[in-house]
Amino acid sequence: MPRHNRKRVETRRGTATVEFAVVAPLFLLLTLGLLQGSKLFDSHSVMAQAARDGARLGAMDRADWVSQGINSNDKIKQDVRNTLAAAGFDPEDVDVFIEFPGEPGNDFDLDDPANDFELFELRIEVPLNPLVETHNDNENQLKMVSKVVFRNSKSTIVQ
């Protein structure tokens, strides 16, 4: 073998190891990020569907499926929590709010006749800690939020 070819082979020795050492952590980080992102996307999709289903129940005529003495708001909140619990969420971590749209803290009573045909917002909040490992203290906890606005129209289902 000529001398100049041997020198070229010797200078490339270990190159693949160095390239792997540089690329492998980046590839691993990208893969883990995609897994966490897909988990968050899936969780938000489940939350959005639960919010739509709960708000749809709130927009319907509840006389047939809500027993006497049971508040519609409480029934819908519990149904949303049960739906999310069936999807793997901890129901103790799920906060459900039924409020006037754009007015956080101003509760909307679905059973109040004064609120007939008014818009209401159903909002679900879940802390990110169980879904993704975060390093936040309990006071500044990040939350994933899903909300939807419906009209309290008391419509009926036509089949």
| Residue at 118 is within a domain | yes
Confidence of residue 157 (pLDDT cuts 50, 70, 90): low
Best CA proximity match to 98, nearest among 74, 69, 67, 66: 74
| Residue at 158 is within a domain | no
Q: What is the chain's length?
A: 159
pTM of the model: 0.75
d(CA 103, CA 157): 29
**H or E element that contains 30:** helix 15-59
| Residue at 22 is within a domain | yes
Domain count, the chain: 1
Residues 115-139: pLDDT tens digits?
A: 888 999 999 999 887 666 656 566 6
| Residue at 157 is within a domain | no
| Residue at 159 is within a domain | no
Confidence of residue 52 (pLDDT cuts 50, 70, 90): very high
Q: pLDDT at position 101, please?
A: 94
Give the domain range for residue 41. 3-151
Q: pLDDT at position 94, please?
A: 93
